[in-house]
Each structure stands twice: as structure tokens, then as C-alpha cells.
Chains A and B, each alone.
Chain A
Amino acid sequence: MKMSALGKTGLQVSKIGFGCAPLGNEYGELDQAEALHAVHAAIDHGINFFDTSPYYGRTLSETRLGEALKGKRDQVVVATKGGRFSAELESGFDFSYNSIISMCEASLKRLQTDVIDVYQLHDIEFGKKEIVLNEAIPALYDLKKAGKVRFIGATGFPVDYLHEVITQADLDLTLSYCHFNLQNQALHRKLLPAARERNMGIINASVTGMGLLTPQGPQPWHPASDNIKSVCKRAADYCTEQGVSIAQLAIQFALHRDDCDVTLLGTRTTAELESSVGLIDQSPDPDLLEQVLKILEPVANLTWPSGYH
């Protein structure tokens, strides 16, 4: 497994991170044994970065990760998040100071650990900016001071808003999703340069654009416009005709560049995991990539609304 330095944290992390949303049954039912096995198989393949949230499976993902890491906690870097607990646009989020502190305490228990390596605010665009800046981020500083967490960060969807927040705070890392993949590379616009300038760690997630860039297409709740969905489907169908899964090309595309420290992959099965790990040394077929980028051009960097910023 290729490793990289996670910004200024001093942590050495695997280039592929294990996205733990599937452990919360977010992409289909997984039983307890399968979930634990998925974590162990990832460790066996050299993955040491695990990213979860109380939101995934409404605490199920964290609980399962905590269970799976019994006796293996020292081998891995555990990242989780606070501030979000459901999809409800208002009641699902609380970025107040007290909420972040108490959510962190609850995560420590579920993860069965004394310290969380990476603690991040989850989807900050759903909070009021002044609450995020004046309450949530100070809560992160205090959690770090108290030794409950080692490093702190912020995650979200709109990259320019993330940029705005990280430049007004002192964070160790940031995580952005759906903004560095075949369809969208807006991460490189402002967020990535600013993070690098500050020597922050940067984590990329959703290399398939939450299912847009998969042969089967996204789930019904996917917020992209019909235009984006249909163009992505055209690209996916093209790959299928060429005998390649677009998901595979999407993973290769994200992994073969060194832009981000960690690329999170949400694998459900060991077979998926092995296939993803196998892709790390393969660069994408240049002709296929060119064709796919051409098909996706009409929707390149197009995005969709998320939150309030």
C-alpha cells in the first residue's frame, strides 16, 4: 500500500482510506460479521485510515468500527465527525459548542477509544457560518487541548465555502467529496491550493460522485440534476460498451494523481476492496479516459445545491 503524509499532522496514512458509510448499511444491508470482516480485510491490505461519522447508519457505522478495531486500535488512524446526525435539513444538524463536545464524547464511547485521531465537523454548509466559526471550531480547539482528539478538520460539499471557512480557522485537514472525480475537479480551484499553502491534510471522497459514475447509476435520492445524471449515464454506458466499469476508471483517475493525501473508497465487500486496492498501481487507459472526459464535458464541474452556503 502506498502511504502519504497527512499534511502537517505527522501521521502516515494509506493513500486509500476506508470510507465507513457502508458499515452503517448506507449502501445496502451488511450484517455484523460482514461489516467486521470488511474492516479486518482492509487492515490486512495495508489500509490504515478509517473515516466514519455518527451520521452513517445513525451511529451504526461508528459502533461497528469500534467493535472491529478491538485489539487493532493502535494499527490505524480513526477519523470521525460531529455536528450532523440525520438528513433533516434543520433538525439533523447542530454545530453549537455543546453539541460538538457531547457528540465527540459519544463517539469516543462508540469507537471504544480514549482518543480520536481525526475529528471533523460534518457538512458545515448546513450550519450557520457564525455558529460554525464561533462555536463549532472553538469546540474543536478545546477537544484537541483536552486530548480527546489529536487533529481537527472540516468537511463539506461546496468547495468554495469550505475554502472560506478553512482560511478563517486553524485546522489540520479538510475533506471534500464529489469534487475531484471524472465529472468534477473543482477541488483544484481554490480549496486544494489553500490547503496545501497551510500544509493541511486533504482527503478526497466520493470518487464516483455518489454513484453518478457507476454502471448502475445513482440512488433515487441523488441531488444532481437530470442533465448531469443523463450525461454521466452516457459516459457509464460508453465504458460498459468498452468492457470497463466506469467505477473502476473513476477510482484509477482519482488514485493515480498525488493531489490528495487520502482517497476514501466505500467498499462493501472484500472483493470490491481487493479490486480497488489492485487499481492503485494502474493508471487509467489514456484513450478511454480521453473519450469519457469528452462525453462528460457538457457537465464538467457542474454541481448541485447543498446546505445554505
Chain B
Amino acid sequence: MPNKIIDSHVHFWDPELLDYPWLEDVPPINRSFLPADYSQAIGNFPVAGQVFVQACGNPNQAMAEVEWVSTLAKTGASVKGIIAFAPLELGERAAGALEGLTRFPLVKGIRRLIQSEPLGFSTQPEFVRGVQLLADFNFSFDICIKHHQLQDVLQLVEQCPDVQFVLDHIGKPDIAVGLIDPWKEQITQLATYENVTCKLSGLVTEADIEAWQPADLTPYISHILETFGPNRTMFGSDWPVCTLATTYQKWLEITLEATSRFSPVEQDQIFYQNAVDFYKL
């Protein structure tokens, strides 16, 4: 058991402050989730800090979300980094927004959701250009897709050798129906790019949220650990979204169990050091 954990994927939100239209489709988590709730959720696990990942659904509030989370960090939350929204599909014209985000020292990277966009979104030249720009600002890119978009992502990554990528939620394979191909082969390909890291997060909500068993996740976790290995895999909770299907502690226990064959140094990489190094926390 590592003696300190960085949780690479956490959301906080307050629907009274900012707009989260997507929460209307998930009533159980359609309320505020704040650092105090997180402290409760982790139980006795020694969390040294979190990476906050954007969750606000209104692009016009991207900066407001960053300001809000920066304030949370100043007033006691152990947020070590912020992954902010930026409209990368604007290509060169996204530079202004990225410039603005450099004013916030906690902003370490960008996430522009791809999962809800049509196929081809992430391969359009303007979007690719927007992602390429991130290297100039020293920002990483969080790839949040559904599994059927992996082919597009392979093309995107191929065109951005100078950008540091992290795949959120192992590319959201359809665990509920046990679909493993072509996800498996595409993950193997993606892992050949040294500038791509993978978050061990978000699996339970892709499984049958009512009836999943730990064994349902095993083939997916094993494949990620085989391809990305302990040097490029990082633990993330995806809290509070994970609470739709499990508890924070249960998910952490599953990942600890799945990584128990690694050495203490490798476990420390997965649960702490890789996030620190990747996001420059």
C-alpha cells in the first residue's frame, strides 16, 4: 500500500454556481460535490492531493471554473493541479484562451471533451492545430473519448509528437457488454506512443453499474497495465462520477489489488509519482 496517493482525476461542482446541464441526466449526482465531501469519501486512504478535471458544461464559464477551483485550493482543498477547458477546435484562435489560462499557476493541462462529438471531430485540422498549440504553453491534453473514437485519437496523437497526452478512463470501453475488440488492439497501438499516459479510472461507470463484478474489469485493467506499464499508468478516482457505480474506497481497493504484483517503487509510480511527473504538480 503506497503511503501517499495523488488522485489524478477528481471533479468538484456546485450547480448553484456554474452550469452543468449534463447532470440532469444523472440524478444521483445532481447536487454539489465539494472538497469536504471528498474528504469523507476517501475514508482512511492517505490522499496527498488531487488533480481537478473540468466538469462545467458551459464553455463561457471555463475561466470562472478555474477561478473557483483556484479559490478552493487557497482555502484548504488539496488540489495540486487543474485541467481546464479550452476551445481547441478553434485552432490558432484558441491561443488567446490558453494564454489566459497561464495566469493560473494550478492549470497544468487542458481537456476538451471529445466523447460527445461525432467521429472525425478530433482529426479535423483546426482541432489538431489547437492540440499542437498546447506544447507551446506547456499544457498537457486529457483525451476523453468513447472507445469507438480510438482510431481518430491514434491519428491525432500521430500528428502531435510534442504534446503530452493522457487517456482518461482507459478510453471508455464498453465493459457492460464485455466488448474488448478492437479496443484492445487500439490501446496496444496507442501505448506505443511514448508521449501518451493512461489513467486507471472510470471503469466502473462503463460496466453494468448495478451488477458489475470486479472480474468484469480484470481483462481491461490487465491490458492497460501490460501495455502502458507502471511507468505510464496513473490512478484516478473519477469521483464523484464513480459513485454512480461504486464507492471511492472500493475502486481504490480494486486498483491496489490489481497492482499488488508490482514492486513498492512501481506502485508508488502508479499511485503518486506518475501524476506528479506528468502534470508537473
Contacts and interface: CB of A to CB of B under 8 A. Distances in A.
Interface of A: 26, 58, 85-92, 219-226, 304-306
B46 A91 contact: no
A51 B48 CA distance: 27
Contacts of B30: none
Contact of A87 (B43, B49, B76, B257): B43
B212 interface: no
Contacts of B40: 58, 86
Given A88-B42, A222-B1, 14 more contacts: A86-B39, A86-B40, A86-B42, A87-B47, A88-B48, A89-B4, A89-B49, A91-B39, A219-B44, A221-B44, A221-B46, A221-B249, A223-B3, A225-B264
Contacts of B48: 88-90
Contacts of A225: 264
Contact of B44 (A87, A224, A304): A87
A22 to B, nearest CB: 13
A226 B38 CA distance: 28
B39 A58 contact: yes
A219 B45 CA distance: 10
A91 B77 contact: yes
Contact of A220 (B49, B77, B253): B253
Nearest to B254: A220
A100 B89 CA distance: 50
Interface residues of B, number: 25
Contacts of A89: 4, 46-49, 78
Interface in B40-64: 40, 42-49
A298 to B, nearest CB: 17
A88 B76 CA distance: 11
B253 A90 contact: no
Interface in B115-143: none
A91 B43 contact: no
26 contacts: A58-B39, A86-B40, A86-B42, A87-B39, A87-B43, A87-B44, A87-B46, A87-B47, A88-B38, A88-B49, A89-B49, A89-B78, A90-B48, A90-B78, A220-B249, A220-B252, A220-B253, A221-B1, A221-B43, A221-B44, A221-B45, A221-B249, A223-B1, A223-B3, A224-B1, A226-B264
Q: 5 smallest A-B Cβ distances: which pairs?
A: A86-B39, A91-B78, A220-B253, A89-B48, A221-B44
B35 interface: yes
Given A87-B45, A88-B78, A90-B78, A220 B1 contact: yes
Given A26-B44, A86-B42, A221-B43, A91 B4 contact: no
Contacts of B18: none
B200 to A, nearest CB: 16
Contacts of B38: 88
Contacts of B46: 87, 89, 221, 223
A304 B3 contact: yes
